[in-house]
Chain A
Amino acid sequence: MMKTAVLLIPLLPLASFIITGLFGKRYFKEKSQYLSVAAVAVSWLLSIYLIIQVERGEELSWQVYSWIAAGKFKVDIGFLVDQLTAVMLLVVSTVGFMVHVYSIGYMKGDGGYYRFFAYLNLFMFSMFMLILGNNFLMLYVFWEAVGLCSYLLISFWYTKQSAANAGTKAFLVNRVGDFGFGLGIMLIFVTLGTLSYSGVFENAGRIGSGTITAICLLLFMGAMGKSAQFPLHVWLPDAMEGPTPVSSLIHAATMVNAGVYMVARSSPLFHQSHTAMFVVALVGTFTAIFAASIGLVQNDIKKVLAYSTVSQLGYMFAALGVGAWAAGMFHLVAHGFFKGLLFLCSGSVIHAVSGEQDMRKMGGLKNKIKITYWTFVIGALAISGFPGLAGFWSKDSVLAGAFNGGYWYFWLVGLIAAFMTAFYMFRLIFMTFHGKPRDVELYSHAHESPRSMTIPLIVLAIPSVLIGLVLGLPPEDGHIDRFLEPVFEAVKGEAHHFGALDVGLMALSAGIGLAGIFLAWVFYIKRPELPEKAGAHVGVLYKAALNKYWIDEIYFALFINPVRALGRGLWRWVDVGIIDGFVNGSARFFRGVGMVLRPAQSGKIQAYMFSMLLGLLALLLVYLALTI
């Protein structure tokens, strides 16, 4: 039964993808959603079943099929279902299902309706395979597959130049990371001769310290690309060109978590290398505060959420890097739910104001779109760490992990980033929903979204509130810690006693979140003239953050323009002068030779066969002469 479930979970979306993709355009048209949503719904139910089984202590490690067996190189297709997989399944299947439902309303009337659902199904298949696989090669293959789906969905409206560019950018930036990831996997194979998780992790202790650091850093390079960590974060904000359900599903709740999942899965490797762990924590923490500071000043509603996602992913890596593995996964789950919710809400807002994304043109929408407003507030409170909600417990466990691990500097930076998070989230809410409508035209046409969109919002709001209580309590040894213990058993640090200090830390992180909310209220409700004054005061910093620290421009100056210039130079001088001369000369040469040899191409198949026979005879005689 468990095996059937494991097989059906990925295969149902795949079947739906094939059917919808092949027949959608001609036959299903605007009815494409039924099959897709049904397939994902069944996958979701089966995932819940699997999670319950794992909760009861069942585990599954199953070699289905030997995929490649060439000498020493052996790769199986197999499934591994353990606690870590269950945690990922919970997020992926739930958010995936809700996004499918939501898309029914959001994409209604779009020309590529069937195509959208087909791609979503393909993504669900790839993502399920990514988390269910039991070896590094499967991880890599489906890692690329989700990347492909991400590309297809970012540039879903491919007639729009900016969307097509964003898709290409995501693809290219991810290639940089995947290059490292691929090298890391090869290095694992060269060192250990196997790629299966169990084989690699059992022998992790045998690897030399230099090699293992290299492996971990290369693997982490892949994670940096996929999970948009500095300096490879540049693709994620641009990826917001895609339809909003895609941003919610792929670029907030599931695919970008693949990097975190990979690092957590490879915990026995990372545990061996302090350098790699420190790099993970450093990159994560830096990204957390870096992206949060950009998020403070963005005016596009989806861009704010995108930078927020980058920042929260940074938190997860920070947690993994300081050895708080379970805390990182906890934040992944909580973030998956509330960020998925926030993106869907922003989609609902955009839907309400007919496609406008600039917050400066919104305002006062709270009475017009009540359900969206309240769910948005719940999501924002959750991410800001409002006491009791999901983000409070998960973020606190991340920060406590850093503090107790002795990395007080990471804790401090994380705390500042948490303050920024609360500020920009409520800046977003106050600018969008409160105050006076800035664009009367937009405001008067605003309307609540259809029920297929609001129900997913309400459903996702529930875990955003409760998941922290369910998984995070009691704080010193939460449910999720105990649940994930078998996975991280080998890499666990020493047990930490929960004391008064921890209560203080908790109160501090709760207080800092509330302070951020209060400051946002002061800036955008109480005294709306303040932001401009403050902006002028720290002019350079403000400008730097608004322009995303010119990272894109730096990349252009450093990589893209030199390559272009090189290309132009090569074209002018080398290509036209030398190569063209060579090519034209050789073309003339070959035309002459061709005229001579043309009769050989007689079209007589048996003559060809005969010449093959002569060649075979020659080879055989050479072999005979060499061996005897």
Chain B
Amino acid sequence: MGDFNQFFFILLSVVILVSAACVVLFKNLIYSALSMIGSFLGVAGIYILLHAELVAAAQVLIYVGAISVLVIFAIMLTHHRTGDLSLYFHKQAWIALPVCAVAGITLMVIMGSAAYNAVGEAQNPTDENIASLLFNEYAFPFELVSLALLVAMIGAVILAKKEKS
């Protein structure tokens, strides 16, 4: 069983990282968006590996379902010019690549070498745990987030609305 777990983890990691790289590297935005969906699905798989089925379901619903559609709509509502590479990539991109790589590896080293004292046997919080946390201990942040969503909705409507001319 343990080997299966490891196998799926590596498989999903490859899917996630390759499609994430594709998001950045594709010239065509539609391709980027499609790879982003692939990456999101891979993350959902990781959640299942971590026994967080509820989060995985929400990931599929929210990211793959809602946000991706939103992105694709935005791509289709706008017109994109084509041309040479400098039109797509910022001139600092090639300096930034090694910086990102070094920062990432440094952080991995730090995280890998840290002793996680509190880490014990994997625990699987039930959906009931999460729900009761969300509506008791985190009720106030929960309400605030709903307010933030409302504000974002109104803001998006106003921003994207056609100006009266």
On A, residues with C-beta under 8 Å from B are 65-67, 606-607, 610, 613-614, 616-617, 620-621, 623-624, 627-628
Contacts and interface: CB of A to CB of B under 8 A. Distances in A.
A66 B137 contact: yes
B156 interface: no
B18 to A, nearest CB: 23
Interface of A is mostly: helix
Interface in B92-115: 92, 95-96, 99-100, 102-103, 106-107, 109-110, 113
Contacts of B136: 65
A585 B7 CA distance: 67
Contact of A606 (B92, B110, B140): B92
Interface string B78-100: 00000000000010100110011
B109 A610 contact: no
Contacts of A67: 140
Contacts of A616: 103
A624 B99 contact: no
B55 interface: no
A624 B110 contact: yes
Contacts of A627: 110, 113
A617 B104 CA distance: 9
Interface of B: 90, 92, 95-96, 99-100, 102-103, 106-107, 109-110, 113, 136-137, 139-140
A437 B10 CA distance: 99
Contacts, number: 34
Given A614-B99, A620-B106, A624-B109, 8 more contacts: A606-B92, A607-B92, A610-B99, A613-B96, A613-B103, A620-B107, A624-B106, A627-B113
B44 to A, nearest CB: 28
Contacts of A65: 136, 139-140
Nearest to A617: B103
Given A606-B90, A607-B92, A613 B110 contact: no
A209 B30 CA distance: 75
Given A65-B139, A65-B140, A610 B96 contact: yes
A628 B139 CA distance: 41
Given A616-B103, A621-B106, A628 B113 contact: yes
A374 B83 CA distance: 93
A82 to B, nearest CB: 25
A606 B95 CA distance: 13
A620 B103 contact: yes
B113 A610 contact: no
Contact of B92 (A66, A610, A620, A623): A610
Instruction: Identify the interface centre among A65, A67, A606, A617: most chain B CB within 10 Å of its CB.
Output: A617
A610 B106 CA distance: 17
Contacts of B140: 65, 67
A616 B140 CA distance: 32
A66 B141 CA distance: 11
B79 to A, nearest CB: 22
A616 B95 CA distance: 15
Contact of B99 (A606, A613, A623, A628): A613
A617 B136 CA distance: 39
Nearest to A618: B103
A607 B90 CA distance: 10
B90 A617 contact: no
Contacts of B96: 610, 613
A560 to B, nearest CB: 42
A592 B109 CA distance: 43
Contacts of A628: 113
B109 to A, nearest CB: 7
A10 B107 CA distance: 50
A624 B102 CA distance: 12
Instruction: Identify the interface centre among B99, B103, B110, B140: most chain A CB within 10 Å of its CB.
Output: B103
Nearest to B96: A610
Contacts of A66: 137
B106 A617 contact: yes
A627 B110 CA distance: 9
Contacts of B103: 613, 616-617, 620
A369 B88 CA distance: 86
Nearest to A623: B110
Contacts of A624: 106, 109-110
9 contacts: A65-B136, A65-B140, A67-B140, A610-B95, A613-B100, A613-B103, A617-B102, A617-B103, A624-B109
